[in-house]
Structure 1
Amino acid sequence: MRLRWLLPLSCLLAAACSRPPEPATQAAATPVAPPAPRVQRKPQAEIDWSSDVRLEAGDAWIDCSADYHQGDGRPVLSLAYLDLRKTMQDCRATGLMRLRYKGRITPSFAALAERSGKVAGDLGIGKRILDIDSGGGSVEAAMRAGDAIGENDWTIWVRGDSVCHSACVLLLAAGDMRVIVGPVGVHRMIRVKSAATSRRELGEELRKISDDLRNYLERNGASIEVYDLMTTVPNRTLRILTDAELEKFGLSGANPVEDDLDRIRLARTCGTEFLQRRDAFRRAYDAQCVQPADAAHQDVAEINACGLALRQRYGFPDPRCPIDSPMAELDGAVLAIPPVAPPPEPAPATPEAPPAAAAAEHAAGGEDAPAR
């Protein structure tokens, strides 16, 4: 089994973890620092909702639960704003949206990642899971989707019945948390629709995207060795990455860049004692849930169940910081947001109401309001 889920609590330096908390008097005298910045992602491009985009090389479903044994939810039949909003509406109650995708990485998948993240944000759905099963596809589309994933804080799963090959690996680089059971493999990039007739021309084509790829890996905390593999492993073969390689390359567990910034932020908002408990939970989780004697027979669901039971021993979910507690994306009760009253229905046009007034009321309706 290949899985490394290192919760965002591993210490970058041992000394940093053992450092005693600052005295209360000193903290009171020191001005409060502003919140730590998030990972410096590439800003997401503005979405053109007027364009009609359809999935042409895969299928997608949206569910409001992490329990995929109960199914993958509603099929995504349209990427229009209102259609996605209606499909996700019920996820407001759980605060969790799981997007299952099976297919190739294409521009339409990138649009799916961008649009679903945007709509989830508009609905106040703070936890998002990309449940991926893909044999690869376009490198450019994968980077575009990855930037949207990084911008909108996604956990990424590769279940035991799924794969993540070729360009799909770039999605893993962008996730805040990566839970990997199924095989992850890479090989040399190739442009199937290339017009190259010589090695020189093919090299020129690849060189055009090499800088973008290197920058993408760097800003997401992934190793440049991923780029080396994507330019050296023959395309006709597939290099399956080991558990150690996934961890070494920054493709599994907590995103290392996000993890560093999260520790700074959580120390300010939740306290050092919170971080110490998260560290203790991580060690126990890794030993008891990730690497038990029967680990070869586990899948993501069993590992999640083990972790949810284990975290109670460490005082999680924490009443002060429930959403930042370990595995919060799986805990609908913790993430439930206050119920929101449904938007008022637009008043029907009447002879007494001029058309302009009726149009204004219609524009104010929450569900039918245009995307912003």
Structure 2
Amino acid sequence: MRQIITHSWPLLLCLALAACQQAEPATHSGMVIEEVNSPQEGGAISTAPVKVPPVPAEPATSPRKAKTSVRETAKASSEEAPIDWSTLELTSGEASISCELDYAALGDGNVLAKFDQAGLREALQPCVERGVARLRYKGKITAEFGSLVERVTHVANELGIHKRVLDVDSAGGQVEDAIKAGDFIAESRWTIWVREGAICHSACVFILSAGDTRMIAGQVGIHRIIRMSSTATTRAELNAELRVVYERVRDYLERNGAATAVADLMMAVPNRGLRLLTVEELELYGLDGVNPAQDDLDRLRLMRKCGEDFVSRRDSFVRAFDKRCKTPNTDLDALNTCGLNLRKDYGFPDQACPAESPLSEFDPGTALVPGASKPDGVSQQSPKPKAGES
């Protein structure tokens, strides 16, 4: 079963995986291959120049030091680097901001038309009271997308909005842009949704892997990275180019808590096809639920802030939730009601650490569905994604 949120429990709205529509029969257990449109419509496209190293290559630094350097660079960029506020237009996607999580009943909020600091502040200001903002993005993963996330994060930090969701629907895009944006997201505390009817294919998977928590009900698919600027004329030359790109991908996946096996799987699927990952594969490769790399950091943080007893009760709650509440195709309303009621058995919300308690997002609001039975202390206005949405 999927894990649930550990960092301040952003949006423990666990989503049932929707059945993939019009998918070809699995070629074997656990695999679905679909035909897709041209990579220009999304995909995993690499255009950055690569320099094929001599064999054997002499690394400038040790692998451990190199990975630490990349993460430190990403952290510095998210916390210290100034934001580029030059003119921004989303030519490959559209975005909106909502202060609510119930997109089924309340929609996706206001479409973003202004991407300067004042415009984003105006869009995010209504979210201050709840302390939650949801950025809906539908389109390709590009440098523009990365800039959008950086700007929204910066303004949200200024306004004290620390619980944020990236509600993404993307067929992919530029690999290098996705990795850059993903490293920023990894240091900026985002929950990622791929909701029912949405997709996260190709380069979008790198964005998915970066989230603190990943909630998936739509399709997640992978295929080979295509080198649009390649000068290769033989398989050997193309493989040499791709080896450099895939090493970057493996390093990225590893530092963001996902299995490097994802990169190997990508190599085996032609770019004109798409391998849809199953629920079991998403969990196995660390792409669903709590990010294992972030979970390690959060455990240390929670131990220091909230104490060993809090962490022990939280872990017990997680195990009980997985056992009692998570079953295939469980209606999300029933799932969340189960979790909200269950947390009382483990002393949550905790008086000393209410924001870090499971399902803390629902404490200021109310039950997920009008007319649904209310857990103690929860009213009937809180938003939630529908079952199957991510």
> What TM-score range do you get, normalising by the shorter chain?
0.7 to 0.9
Partner of 2:112: 76
* 1:40–1:265 Cα change, 3 Å: farther
Of 152, 173, 186, which aligns to 1:150?
186
- For the pair 1:64 / 2:99, whether they are aligned, the reply is yes
- 8 Å Cα contact 1:128/1:329 also seen in 2: no
Match of 1:126 among 162, 179, 199: 162
Specify the code of the residue in structure 2 equivalent to 1:315: G
Give the counterpart letter for 1:58 in structure 2: G
The match for 2:247 is: 211
The question of 1:310 aligning with 2:342 is answered yes
Q: Which residue of 2 aligns with 1:93?
A: 129
User: What's the CA shift string for 1:97-128, capped at 9, x where partnerless?
Assistant: 11111111111111111111111111111111
Higher relative contact order (CA 8 A, sep 6+): 2
Give the Å deviation of 1:144: 1.4
Aligned-partner Cα distance in 1 for 2:273–2:260: 20
Q: Is the 8 A contact 2:71 2:183 kept in 1?
A: no
Q: 1:5 aligns with which of 3, 11, 28?
A: 3
**Residues 166-214 of structure 1: per-residue CA shift (max 9 Å, x gap):** 1111112111111112121111111345555543453344344333222
For residues 313-361 of structure 1, give each alpha carbon's deviation from its aligned partner in whole angstroms, at most 9, with x where no partner exists: 4322212111211133454459xxxxxxxxxxxxxxxxxxxxxxxxxxx
Contact 2:83 2:151 in 1 (8 A): no
Structure 1 length as normaliser, TM-score?
0.74
1:279 equivalent in alignment to 2:315: yes
**In the aligned structure 2, how far is the partner of 1:302 from the partner of 1:166?**
32
Residue of structure 1 in register with 2:23 after alignment: none
Cα deviation code 1:225-272 (max 9, x no counterpart): 011122222111111112222112111111111111221221222122
CA distance in 2, matches of 1:81, 1:231: 41
- Structure 1 match to 2:352: 320
> Which protein has the bigger helix share?
1
Question: Match for residue 202 of structure 2?
Answer: 166
Residue 92 and residue 111 in structure 1: after superposition, are their counterparts in 2 closer, same or farther (change >3 A)? same
Shift of 1:40: 4.8
Q: Which residues of structure 1 form unaligned runs of 5+?
A: 10-38, 335-372
**Equivalents in 1 of 2:85, 2:152: separation in Å?**
15
CA shift, 1:304, in A, is 4.0
* Partner SS, residue 321 of structure 2: helix
Which of 231, 235, 249 is the matching residue for 1:199? 235
Structure 2 CA distance for aligned equivalents of residues 239 and 298 of structure 1:
27
How much does 1:288 deviate? 3.4
| Structure-2 separation of matches of 1:305 and 1:185 | 31
Task: Name the residue aligned to 2:278.
Answer: 242
Structure 2 letter corresponding to 1:79: F
Kindly indicate whether the alpha-carbon contact (under 8 Å) linking 1:96 and 1:332 is maintained by their aligned counterparts in 2. Answer: no
* AA at the equivalent of 2:2: R
SS in 2 for 1:155: strand
Q: Secondary structure of the residue that 1:296 maps to in structure 2?
A: coil
**2:329 counterpart residue number:** 296
| Counterparts of 2:231 and 2:302, CA distance in 1 | 51
CA distance in 2, matches of 1:135, 1:302: 31
TM-score where L is the length of structure 2: 0.70
Aligned residues: CA RMSD: 2.5
Distance 1:47 1:202 in 2: 38
Identity of paired residues, percent? 50
Question: Does the residue aligned with 1:125 lie in a helix, a strand or coil?
Answer: coil
Asked which structure has the greater CA Rg, the reply is 1
1-side partners of 2:335 and 2:174: how far apart?
31
Supply the AA of the counterpart residue of 2:329: A
Q: Which runs of 5+ in 2 are unaligned?
A: 8-69, 367-390
Count of residue pairs brought into register by the alignment: 299
